[in-house]
Amino acid sequence: MRSLLRVVGWIDALNERAGQWSKWLVLVCVLISAGNALVRKAFDMSSNGFLEIQWYLFSAIFLLGAGYTLKHNEHIRIDILLGRMSPRRQALVDILGGLFFLLPMAGLIAYFAWPVAVQMYVSGEMSSDPGGLIRWPVWALVPLGFGLLILQALAEIIKRIAFLQGLIPNPAEKPVTTVEGALADHAAPLQQGERA
C-alpha cells in the first residue's frame, strides 16, 4: 500500500499542476474575449478564430481542471445523506461511487473520444466557419482531460482504502480556512524575512 500511496502522490502532483494551468487559462480566455469585443466594437472587425479559441480554452479549463477538482473534493455532490454518515461510511460511498460510476463513465468517454481526436488529426479537419481553427486540439483535450480524471479517481479510491486501513488521515476532510488564516499564511514568510 505504501508504494501505491507514492504513486498517488505523483498523480496528485500531476493534477495539481494541470489545475494550476487551468487557472491561468481563465485569464487568457478573459483577455482574448475582451480583446475580441474591443476590436469588434472599435474597428467593426471580428474573427471566427478568436471566437473558437475562446471555447477551446473554456473546454481546456474544465477538462484539464476536472482531476484537480476531484483531488480537492470540490465536485458537486448531494450531502443530504452523505453529511449524516460517519467518515468511514463516506469513504465507502466514495469508493463504490468511484468504482461503479465515475471510472466507467470517464473510461467510456475517453475511449470513444480518442478515435475521434485521432481521425480529426489525420484528416486535418478544420472548422466550417471562415477563419476557423483546426478541430483536433480541442478533441484531444477530451481523452486527455478524462484520462487525468481517471487517474485522480484511482488515486482517490486508493486514499479512501488507505484511510479505512488507518494508514492516512481522512482525505475527504478539508481544513477550515478563514480569510484571516489565509492572510496569516501568506504573511508568515514575509515576517520571517524581516526578522532575518
For residue range 20-68, list pLDDT tens digits in order. 999 999 999 999 999 988 998 888 888 888 889 999 999 999 999 999 9
Strands (E), 17-123: none
Give the model's pLDDT for residue 196. Answer: 56
**Confidence check: pLDDT of 6 > 80:** yes
Residue 139 makes CB contacts below 8 A (sequence gap 6+) with 113, 116, 117, 120
pTM over 0.85: no
| Greater model confidence, 142 or 187 | 142
Judge contact between 110 and 151, C-beta under 8 A: no
End-to-end CA distance of the chain: 42
Integer Cα distance of 68 and 158 in angstroms: 16
Per mean pLDDT, which range of 23-27, 116-120, 169-173 is the poorest?
A: 169-173
